[in-house]
Structure formats: C-alpha cells, structure tokens
Chain A
Amino acid sequence: MFPAPPTFEDLNVWAALPVIILSLWASVLLVADRFINNKFYVAAYSLLGVGISLVIALFQAGDLFDIGESGTAFEGMFMADQFTYVVNIVALISAAIGILISYEYLERTKLDRGEYYILLMFSAAGAMLMGSSNNLSMIFISLELLSIPLYILSGIRRPQEESEESAMKYFLLGAFSSSFLVYGIALVFGAAGSLDLGEIVVVAQTISEQEATQRYLLLIGAGLITVGLGFKVAAVPFHMWTPDVYQGAPTPVTAYMSSVAKVGGFAAFLRVLVTGLPIIAEGGDAAVWVDTLQILAALTLLLGNLVAIMQYDLKRLLAYSSIAHAGYILIALAAGGVPGVGDSAAQAALVYLAAYAFTNIGAFAVVAAIEKDDSTGTTMDDIKGLAVKRPWLAGAMSVFMFSLTGIPLTAGFIGKFWVFRAAMDAGLEPLAVLGVLTSAISAFYYVRVVWNMYFETGDAVVPERQQYLTSGLVITAAGTLILGLLPFILENLVRDASLAILR
C-alpha cells in the first residue's frame, strides 16, 4: 500500500537547504542560549545562521546549484522554484536586518533575551516555507510557524501594557482568522479530495457548472482561505489589528513583522490562488476571485492611505501605510487571476515585496532609532528638526519616505511601476488608476514626515547613535536606492519566477 521509502534524491533535500539550515540553527541555538550569558553572541550567532542560509539561497536563486528539473522536494510538498528562492532571499534579508536593528534596542530597553532572536528565526523559516508550500497543510503549518513566534515577539516587552495588549489582540484575532483558513482548507479538500495544489488545480480548472456542490465548496473554501490570508497581509477589512499591534509591539519587532508577515502571507496567497485555485468564472476566462480581490485591493488602498493622513504617531502612520501597501500588492494578486498575466503579476508582487521589505524595515528602523527607552518619542513632533540633529538619519528617512511614495530612483517606484504595469496588462485599468491616485494621496503623509524633519524646528531629545542599528539602516537605505537605480537586479532575479497555471 505504501510506496518504497524515498531516497535523498527523491526528497531533494538540497532544494530546501536554506530553510532546513535556518530551522536547525534556531533549534540548536534554543538550547545553546542557556549557556551564553552575553546575549550579543546569541544575536551574532543568529545573524550568522541567517547569513549562511541567505548565501545558500542566493546561490540557488542565481541558478548556481543544480537542483533538478522538477523543482519539487519532499514528494511534492515543497516547491523549489525561482519564486521560492526570491521569497527566501527577501525573508532572510528581512530577518538579518531585523536582528541588526534589534540588538541595541533590546539592550537599552532591558529586553535582551536570547529567545528573541530564536523566535525571529523561526518565524522567518515560517515565511520561507509559506513561499514554498505546495500543499494546503504545509500552508497552514508554515503560517502558524510564522505567526506564533510573532505573537510572542509582540508581547515580549511584558509587563508593559501596550506590548501585552497588542500581543493579545494579535493572538486572538490571528487564531480566529486561522480557523477561517483551516475551515476553508477543509472545504477545498472536500471539493478536490486532495490537499496538493497540483491536484486541486486540476479539479479547479475542470469543474463544471453542473457539479454545483463541489463548485460551491471550492468557492467558499477559496473565500475562507482569502479571509485567513487576508488577515495576515492586513487587507481591508481584515486589517483592524494592524495599527494596534504595530504600535504596541516593540519597534524592531514591528519592523520585522511588517515585512516578513507580508512576504509570507502574499507568497502563500499567490501559491494558493494563482497556482492552486484559478477557478474560471462563468462565461469568463479569468479566475472568479479576481473581482473579489479587486474589491479588497480598492478598499485597502483607499482606507490605508486616507486614514494614514491623520496619524500623529509614526508607528501608527507606518502601520496604515503598510495596510496601503498591501493594497498595491493585492492589485498584482488580482491581476494574477487573468490568463497570461499570472507570471508577470507574480513577478510584480515579488518585486514589490522586495522593495517594500527594504523600505519599510528601514523606516521602522529610523523610528526605533529615535524612540526613547520608555517607548515614547515616536510622534510627528519628535522628529521635528531631526535634519539638524541627525542629518544622516533624516536623510535615510527621507529616502524611505520617497520610496514609499513611489518617487523614482527609489525601490518603491520600481515596485509600483511593475504592479501597475501588470494591472494594465491584465486589463484592470480602473484599479491601476486608483492605485496611482492613492499613491498621490500617500504623498501627503509621507511628505509631512519629511517636512517635519527638515522644515520644522523641534527640541525633542534623540537617543545616542546606535552602531548596529545604523548598519541596518545603511543596508536598507542602500538597498532602497540600489534597487531603485539598478532595477535590473530585481528583474533578473524574478524573471524566471513562474506560478501561473492559466496561460
């Protein structure tokens, strides 16, 4: 009844090497942490582990490892293609920068515990796995692997009320939404009889109008999965947790979370919807969920950008901004349901995610740099006159703000360009127009940040320069500019990323 035990070659372990190394490294460190008193070394070892993993991921992405034609591992559970590699790279870079910007912050707020880094690594592994899942059960497990450490990290600053509260909210709502996801998975399983995306897609594409029950199961399942993943990526109307959690969590955690949760969430989103569930609508040739996602994208764009305008706290502002940016990636996702556009949409989403990861972590890192030890000092007033006190910090922040606005020569522009292009390709012009309009609106609040830093004078005290955080900032700022100046780097990277079944 069971086939012969698989060989190493069958398992194709090499393809999953980065995530395996990362998880193992984290597990070892979990134990070793007990014996390391100076938590600096835990941070350093974590960074090393992430670094090793990243190097391997880069080699894989550059086609330097021969990993076989099929590109699957672990008997089809694990998808090892260019998409996976790019997600790996982005997640790992986020993790590395997350570690860099955390150390001093944790130190000065008396939070320097070893498990912080370990949890961070585990959640990165979760995000990586989400990008490579080829099976709904994998999606669920990796999602939880991503989320649970993040719940803990948000509350790591106990007994501070804000931190605890944000962790609690995040946890309860996260669990609530994963139950939607699980139920959706169950229904899809009920309709397709398999959890493997490759088998689901066959059903999804061949299902006819007559098989009403199955069809409805599939549709409702897809809808519930959308809800579950929509929560993770903070799509409106599943976004309510975002501002509270982002504001309450320690800033480096927010920085890391804002990036890695989106990377993982959208990677899974793309895998599930574009690869697994391109259900064709009646009488059309695009997937049914295109319209649904269009609605979500439109809501997300509008709400995120409009509400962000009125924010006074920078963390909260960036939280709404991250909601808004989810909207732009949702545009790409929606475009992914249109035949022939799936691949370019996925590429656009990847480019956007990469650009966003650098920019957003950088922006939060600046906030972390100016935050005081009692976790105040992150308001608009506190950055007034920053250009005089800390010119380089202000300069970096301006770069991030311009990138988030989508001004050319920054990564943000490249991401938006790709996304709008995909939308145009897919015939979603109204959505592209909305995206462009809302990015003009976004200029309002991003520019206000720059304005406060450069044009206003303020007397807020800014913490001392922090060495590792600065290096993290340099990397993110450089990344933002380099990706903006030399977009072909990204283009080369994502060119072979291919997900689409609809051609």
Chain B
Amino acid sequence: MENVLTAVPLVVFIPLAGMLINLFFGKYFGEFGVGFIGVTASGLAFVVAALLWAGLRDNNFEAVVVNPPLFDGWISIPSANLEIPWQFRVDTLSVTMMLVVSGVGTLIHLYAVGYMHGDPRFPRFFVYLNLFLVFMMTLVTGNNILMMFVGWEGVGLCSYLLIGFWFDKSRVFPDGVSEGWKNSNAARKAMIVNRIGDFGVLLAIFLTFWTFGTLDFYKPDEQPIGGHAEEAEEHALVIASTDEVIAEEEHDLSNMGFLNQAQVLLSDGEEHQVKFGSVDLSLKAIVTLITLLMLLGAAGKSAQIPLFVWLPDAMAGPTPVSALIHAATMVTAGVYMMVRANVLFHHAEVSSFIVTVIGATTAIMAGFIAVGQWDVKKVLAYSTVSQLGFMVAAVGLGAYAAAIFHLVTHAFFKALLFLASGSIIHGMEHGHHHSHDSHHAHHEEEFDPQDMRTMGGLRRKMPITYWTYVIGTFALAGIFPFAGFWSKDEILADSFRVFWDEGELKGIFALMLLITAAGFTAFYMWRQVSLVFYGEPRHEAGEHASESSLLMTLPLMILAVLSIFGGFLNTPSDLPLLTDLFGAHKFTDWLGHSVVNAHAGEFLWWLALGALGVAVFAIFAARQLYADETTSTVRITGDPLARNPQTSQAFALANAKLLWDEMYFKYLENPFNVASRFLADRVDWQFWHDFFHHNIVYLPFDQGAKGISGNVDKVVIDKGIMMVFARGPWEIARRVRRVQTGFVRIYALTILLGTVLVMIAILFPDIRDILGI
C-alpha cells in the first residue's frame, strides 16, 4: 500500500491545478464551470486524503516521507550543512488535518458556489479558495518546519486576499469610512498581526536549526521515538516510563529529525549545553525559548492573547471564507504546530504553563466579549477565538490528542455555524433587496444585513438554517451527545487530571476558566439564536427573507450530521453502550502514532455532568433573558443586559471588546506611525538629507571655496545660494585690493613670498619637525 502513500503530493497539486485553470481560463467558463473545477479540485483532494488514510492503516500507521516529483530539493547549502528539502509527510496527524481541511473545504466550496452567485469576481474567489487549499495542505504535510512555514505564510496570504475580497465596496459606514477601506484594512491588519507571530516562528526556526542542525521533524527513514501505540492501547499514562526506555537505547543523533533528537536528549536526564555563535545555553533553556517563540507564532495564527485582534476584523471577508479559513482550518494551524512539536512542549514546563494560561485566558476573555456583540459574525468570531483558547490550553495541559480532537469537532460545528450565518445574511440581503424593490424612496439609512438587531423571527422563514443552526449551537455549547460535548469534556478532564494527579497549578487554573468560558459560550450562542430566529422580524428585510438554495443548505445539513456524530470518533472508554458502539479512544490511538505524547484522558462523569449543567443553565438563562417578547423590541430598547443596571457596565465593556483595539492603537500603532513620520520627515529628510548633507557637508565646502577665491564672480554670487555669507570674504578682498595699488606687483610680491617659502623649506628642513607637519 506504500504506493498509495506516495500520492500525497497530489493533495497539494490537485488544488494547484484547479487554481491555475481558474486563474487563466476562469473568465471563459462561467460560474458553473468555475465552481465545478473548484469543487472538484477540493473533492479530489479529499479523496486522496481518504486514500492516504486507508493506506496509512495498511502501512501499520507508520509514517512515510514522500519526495515530490521535479523538486529534488529546496534550500540546500552543503557548506553550511543547511539542507531543507521539499518533503511531504504522511502520518496520522497530517492525514487527520488533510481530511478535515479537504472535507470541510469541499463542503464550503460547494456552499460558496451558491453564496457567491452573481459576484463579478466569482472566478477569482475560487482561485483564492483553491490556493488556500494548496497552502493549507503544504502546511500540514510539510516534513520540515520551514515547509510548514511556507504553508503558514501562504494561508496568511490567502486570508489577506479573501478578507479584502470586497475591497471595492463603496458603501459608507456612519463613521465616514467606506466598506471597501474597512475590508482592505482588516485584511492588512490580519497579515501584519500574523507577521508579528511569524517573527516568533522564524526565530524558533533559527534556534532549532543551530541547536539540532536540521529542520526536519523526522528524517525520512525514522519513526517517532517514544511513539507508544502499544501503550496507548492500554490507556495508561506512560509518559514517564517512556523516557527511561528512550534513554537506554543508543541513537545516532546526526541522522535524526529534530523532534527525535530532542526526545532523546531531553529524556536522558543529563544536562546538555548548546553552543553556537554567541549563544551558550542549556538545552532545556533553548527548548523553552523555542516553544515560547512557537507560542508567539501560534498566538498570531490561532488568535490568542495578545494577537487575536485581527480575527474579529477578518469577518469582513465573505462568509464562506470565515467558515473555512477563520473558523475551521487556518486558525487551527497554530494548534497544529504546537501539537506537531509536542515533544518540545512536553519537556518545557515553563512554556507549557504559559501556554495554558494564555489559552485559558483567551477562552474566557473572548467568551465574555462575544456576549456583547451585535454582529452575527462577530459573535461567532469571538466564539472561535474562545474555542481556540480551549485548544491552546489543551496543548499547555499536555492533552495533545484532546486539542486535535477539539480542533476536528470545532471544524465541523463552527463551519456549520458560519455557513448558517452566511445563509442568514444571504437571506437578509435577499429580503432587503426584495423590500427595497417594492418601496424605493424610503430606505435612506444604510442597511447592515449582519446586525442581529435587524433580524428576528427567521425561524419560520428559514427552517433548514434554523435547525442546523441550533444543532451547531448545541454542539458548540457542549450539550450531550453533540460533538462539542465530547471534545470539550476531554480537555476539562485533562485539566483536572493535571491538577489532581500531577499537582500542577495550571490544571485548576485552566479548569476554572474553561468551565466559565463554556458557560459564556452557551449563553451567547443561545442569545444569538434567540435574537436571530425567535420573536418577530424587526426589519422589513427579515420579513422578506427566504431560505437559501439547496447548494447552500446541503453543506449545512451534512455538517449538522457531522456535528451530531463527530464526537463519537473519540468516545471515552468504559461508557455503557457508546464504547461498545464506537470503540474507545479510537482517535487518540490513531493520533498516538505520530503525536508521541498523545494520551487518552479519563472520562470523569461528574465533571462531564457538571459542565453539561453549566451549559444547560446558561442556555436557560439566555432563553429567559431573550424571551420572544424581549427579542421583538430589542432593536429599539437595546440588549436586556444593557438595560439592567447591574450588568450594563459589563455589557458595555463586552460591547467595546474590552478596548483592545483602542489600546493597541493608542500605545502601539499610533506611536509607531508618529515615530515613523518623525523619522522620515524630521530625522531622515530635514536633518540628515537637508541639514547634514547640505549645511554641514556642502555649504562649508562651498563657502571655503568662495573664501579662497576671494572675489567670487558676480554672476555666481547673484545666482548663488548663500549671498549673505559670500559677501563677507568678497568685501575683505576688495578692501585689500584698494590698499594695494596694482595687480602685477601683487603677483610679483607673491612670487617673492613664494621664493622665501621655498628658501625656508629647502634651507631648514627641520622646520617641518618644529611645526609638526
């Protein structure tokens, strides 16, 4: 079956082909043709991924590294021992990611055909989507960290292009900025904030290279050391014991990828010193540095504190983009990277602690902000940030499998929610156009189809959307037995384990914050459901809204099914009925073949029940607050939370997004801009270019020349730059001349003086020593 695995480059090249075809010939095809090619490319990639899954199973889950055709290398500097090839890695982790990316991706492609119908740049949208798949696949299949980085930056680029897809919208917002500029600036913001994260990734790469001498995760002919497929089957916590096993074996480090090297070196219990260039640190410290820098990168890509601010703005892109890139796939790249490097994180306690804190804090903070949002997509965006916080916290807690598991389920239900919200927006816009056509003159005010205050009562207008949305909400809120319940519970269980079994503070910290965040999640989701679907329509658009086409609702339904059953991928052991039905820890075991520190969590029924209780309580609270009658008046009276004096301040804070953007502007962006202008105008131009190079270098030179020449030519003076200064020497020269009576005799006198000079010089050569020249 190995030959199936060598097909892995196809997951990159098929979307690439689709992208190129649409790029060059898309304008001749029409919407159907373009959409067909785009969806087919994505679908074929999914098929390849599925084949790889099967092939990997047949290959005893052993990872395989595949060289692509044509490119027999990438960056290769033999004299620096720098060898970075293009190599594709097929292991359980990468195949999981491939399946998610191409599976969800295909559905979203399909949805986009309907959603983007009639857009003048329809072909380009699919070019970008396919390009995104190219880079995302490169990201997850790269066998070295730099190739991963290519995908990493590439998806960032696609994100940039797609956020700014509607850069030319001329609708002007009340604050005087047109929508086109808002979109463009959101795109730029995303790219730049991500670049700050990339700064960390790059530095991590440099440190990795000089510490381990390679950037390959694993070399082509090796398997992860410490991979404990067998142990995993026993559902035991075997991490401590594997260290000893590893230390006993002999390893040739020079022929190992950096992850295995780290595993060997960090498990042998000895102190290793790393020396290169000016750096002289212990291996432990280096690994801590590398992981912290990776965290910075992940914070950028996976929208964690303090770099999450781009993601809410990124909702400016078309909704399929939000679903695919900013919910299901791209934003999880940071989590993927950290899980890929789990060997390093596992041995870096300080980093793990910080990762946990960052993730948990992000989860609760974003959850809180989401409560105060009015924009249907902004709520989901903050929800995404919050859920990504869950995943990152899971990485910090050492629950790598749980993180990936949550990543997968989140991809299902968050994509579902976004697509459904797209369907809502589509419906609203449609309704708006409809009502607009009937009465022309009335609608002076700008209509925002994403504002939940203008919605309401859509339950009857858009039943499929409603039902799928509710399924997604339950999944996200962690209601049994939807997908989110299982994955979120595993994280919570792990945090408890870390606290209880290992006695680490981060466990309880994470547990408290995450449970609260889960409560927030359930609350704002049901608030949204109430505002959007219940009550009466609060705007004409809502009255005229209608269900979207099958092209759009079909993906919703498929994703709804996945959101319901996705959680059973990794059913805990020892559960009645379910374990028998779906097997125990299937997903963790599968992942354990590539994620060496993956382990299955215990199912703590009381914790699960508690979390479920919190969620249910939050939903009921929301149901209570946003009852039908309240919902119907929310457009005029505002949010019930804002009306209640006890919560109004908190709501205002959430509504203002905790002022992150404002603070960034005040303390970072604005100073940067001011300094930039100061440097450019004052320092570089006025001081350095004009003042220094003109006044200090040029003018004295000019003046000196003028002074020596005595009487400067009148024309030059009149035209000259420094009239005033040049007059001085000129006047002196004139006066000198008036005392003297004739030029020829001055000349003769000079000759005589020159003679004296020559005489002195030739007769008294010592004079030079005396004068010191």
Task: Identify the A interface with B (CB < 8 A).
Answer: 168-169, 172-173, 176-177, 180, 216, 219-220, 222-224, 226-227, 230-231, 236-238, 240-241, 244, 281-282, 284, 288-289, 291-292, 295-296, 303, 306-307, 309-313, 379, 381, 441
CA distance A177 to B749 in the complex (A): 11
With contact pairs A180-B755, A237-B754 given, residues A223 and B762 touching in the complex (Cβ less than 8 Å): yes
Query: CB-CB < 8 A to A306: which residues of B?
Result: 704-705, 708-709
**Contacts A/B (CB < 8 Å), 13 sampled:** A172-B744, A176-B748, A223-B759, A223-B763, A226-B758, A226-B762, A237-B757, A238-B754, A240-B750, A241-B747, A288-B765, A291-B768, A307-B709
| Count of residues in B whose CB is under 8 Å from the partner chain | 29
CA distance A288 to B759 in the complex (A): 11
Give the one of B708, B755, B762 with max A CB within 10 A.
B762
B762 touches which of A173, A231, A292, A310 (Cβ 8 Å): A292
Query: CB-CB < 8 A to B762: which residues of A?
Result: 219-220, 222-223, 226, 288-289, 292
Task: Identify the B interface with A (CB < 8 A).
Answer: 701-702, 704-706, 708-709, 712-713, 715-716, 743-744, 746-748, 750-751, 753-755, 757-759, 761-763, 765, 768
Smallest CB separation, B631 vs chain A (Å): 75
With contact pairs A223-B758, A223-B763 given, residues A173 and B709 touching in the complex (Cβ less than 8 Å): no
Closest Cβ neighbor of B702 among chain A residues:
A309
Whether B747 pairs with A173 at a CB distance below 8 angstroms is yes
Smallest CB separation, A379 vs chain B (Å): 8
Whether A240 pairs with B758 at a CB distance below 8 angstroms is no
Whether B768 pairs with A238 at a CB distance below 8 angstroms is no
With contact pairs A173-B744, A230-B754, A237-B753 given, residues A312 and B763 touching in the complex (Cβ less than 8 Å): no
Whether B709 pairs with A310 at a CB distance below 8 angstroms is yes
Whether A227 pairs with B754 at a CB distance below 8 angstroms is yes
Query: CB-CB < 8 A to A173: which residues of B?
Result: 744, 747-748, 751
Closest Cβ neighbor of B704 among chain A residues:
A306
Whether B761 pairs with A238 at a CB distance below 8 angstroms is no
* Given A219-B763, A227-B754, A310-B709; 19 other pairs, CB 8 A cutoff: A169-B743, A173-B747, A173-B751, A176-B748, A220-B759, A220-B763, A223-B763, A224-B755, A226-B758, A226-B762, A237-B750, A240-B750, A240-B751, A282-B765, A288-B762, A289-B762, A295-B761, A307-B709, A311-B713
Whether A296 pairs with B765 at a CB distance below 8 angstroms is no
Chain A at the B interface: SS class: helix
Q: What are the 6 tightest A-B residue pairs by CB atom distance, in nearest-first order?
A: A237-B754, A240-B747, A312-B713, A292-B761, A309-B705, A307-B709
Query: CB-CB < 8 A to A381: which residues of B?
Result: 715
Closest Cβ neighbor of B710 among chain A residues:
A307
Whether B758 pairs with A292 at a CB distance below 8 angstroms is yes
Whether A303 pairs with B708 at a CB distance below 8 angstroms is yes
Whether B706 pairs with A310 at a CB distance below 8 angstroms is yes
Whether B747 pairs with A307 at a CB distance below 8 angstroms is no
Query: CB-CB < 8 A to B701: which residues of A?
Result: 441
Smallest CB separation, A441 vs chain B (Å): 8
Whether B757 pairs with A295 at a CB distance below 8 angstroms is yes
Whether A312 pairs with B758 at a CB distance below 8 angstroms is no
CA distance A238 to B701 in the complex (A): 25
Smallest CB separation, A289 vs chain B (Å): 6
Smallest CB separation, A144 vs chain B (Å): 18
Query: CB-CB < 8 A to B713: which residues of A?
Result: 310-313
Whether A169 pairs with B759 at a CB distance below 8 angstroms is no
Whether B758 pairs with A296 at a CB distance below 8 angstroms is yes
CA distance A311 to B717 in the complex (A): 11
Count of chain A to chain B residue pairs whose CB atoms are closer than 8 Å in the complex = 93
CA distance A176 to B755 in the complex (A): 12
CA distance A339 to B709 in the complex (A): 37
With contact pairs A173-B748, A307-B708, A311-B713 given, residues A227 and B755 touching in the complex (Cβ less than 8 Å): yes
Smallest CB separation, A439 vs chain B (Å): 15
CA distance A485 to B102 in the complex (A): 67
With contact pairs A223-B755, A227-B751, A227-B755 given, residues A291 and B715 touching in the complex (Cβ less than 8 Å): no
Query: CB-CB < 8 A to A168: which residues of B?
Result: 744
Query: CB-CB < 8 A to A296: which residues of B?
Result: 758
Query: CB-CB < 8 A to A236: which residues of B?
Result: 754
Smallest CB separation, A206 vs chain B (Å): 19
Closest Cβ neighbor of B767 among chain A residues:
A291
Closest Cβ neighbor of B715 among chain A residues:
A312
B765 touches which of A237, A281, A309, A312 (Cβ 8 Å): A281
CA distance A238 to B753 in the complex (A): 9
CA distance A474 to B762 in the complex (A): 44
Query: CB-CB < 8 A to B763: which residues of A?
Result: 216, 219-220, 223
CA distance A176 to B746 in the complex (A): 13
Smallest CB separation, A240 vs chain B (Å): 4
CA distance A468 to B364 in the complex (A): 94
Smallest CB separation, A390 vs chain B (Å): 23
Whether A310 pairs with B705 at a CB distance below 8 angstroms is yes
Smallest CB separation, B487 vs chain A (Å): 73
B705 touches which of A180, A226, A288, A307 (Cβ 8 Å): A307
Query: CB-CB < 8 A to B747: which residues of A?
Result: 169, 173, 240-241
Query: CB-CB < 8 A to A237: which residues of B?
Result: 750-751, 753-754, 757
CA distance A281 to B421 in the complex (A): 100
CA distance A169 to B758 in the complex (A): 23
CA distance A145 to B753 in the complex (A): 27
CA distance A307 to B747 in the complex (A): 16
Query: CB-CB < 8 A to B744: which residues of A?
Result: 168-169, 172-173
CA distance A244 to B706 in the complex (A): 18
CA distance A381 to B712 in the complex (A): 16
Smallest CB separation, A419 vs chain B (Å): 21
Query: CB-CB < 8 A to A379: which residues of B?
Result: 715
Closest Cβ neighbor of B711 among chain A residues:
A310
Query: CB-CB < 8 A to B757: which residues of A?
Result: 237, 295
Smallest CB separation, B567 vs chain A (Å): 77
CA distance A236 to B765 in the complex (A): 19
CA distance A223 to B752 in the complex (A): 12
Smallest CB separation, A272 vs chain B (Å): 14
Query: CB-CB < 8 A to B768: which residues of A?
Result: 291
Give the one of B701, B750, B753 with max A CB within 10 A.
B750
Smallest CB separation, A377 vs chain B (Å): 14
CA distance A429 to B747 in the complex (A): 32
Query: CB-CB < 8 A to A309: which residues of B?
Result: 702, 705, 709
CA distance A381 to B715 in the complex (A): 10
Query: CB-CB < 8 A to A303: which residues of B?
Result: 708
Query: CB-CB < 8 A to A224: which residues of B?
Result: 755
CA distance A296 to B754 in the complex (A): 9
Smallest CB separation, A458 vs chain B (Å): 14
Closest Cβ neighbor of B747 among chain A residues:
A240
Closest Cβ neighbor of B748 among chain A residues:
A176
Query: CB-CB < 8 A to B708: which residues of A?
Result: 303, 306-307
CA distance A230 to B744 in the complex (A): 17
CA distance A219 to B712 in the complex (A): 39
Closest Cβ neighbor of A320 among chain B residues:
B709
CA distance A238 to B755 in the complex (A): 9
CA distance A173 to B706 in the complex (A): 26
Smallest CB separation, B757 vs chain A (Å): 7
Smallest CB separation, A219 vs chain B (Å): 5
CA distance A288 to B706 in the complex (A): 35
CA distance A222 to B755 in the complex (A): 11
Closest Cβ neighbor of A283 among chain B residues:
B765
Query: CB-CB < 8 A to B761: which residues of A?
Result: 291-292, 295
A238 touches which of B712, B743, B750 (Cβ 8 Å): B750
Query: CB-CB < 8 A to B705: which residues of A?
Result: 306-307, 309-310
CA distance A381 to B751 in the complex (A): 34
Smallest CB separation, A418 vs chain B (Å): 26
Smallest CB separation, B305 vs chain A (Å): 57
With contact pairs A173-B747, A227-B758, A240-B751 given, residues A291 and B765 touching in the complex (Cβ less than 8 Å): yes
Query: CB-CB < 8 A to A313: which residues of B?
Result: 713
Query: CB-CB < 8 A to A219: which residues of B?
Result: 762-763
Smallest CB separation, A187 vs chain B (Å): 12
CA distance A296 to B751 in the complex (A): 12
Smallest CB separation, A40 vs chain B (Å): 37
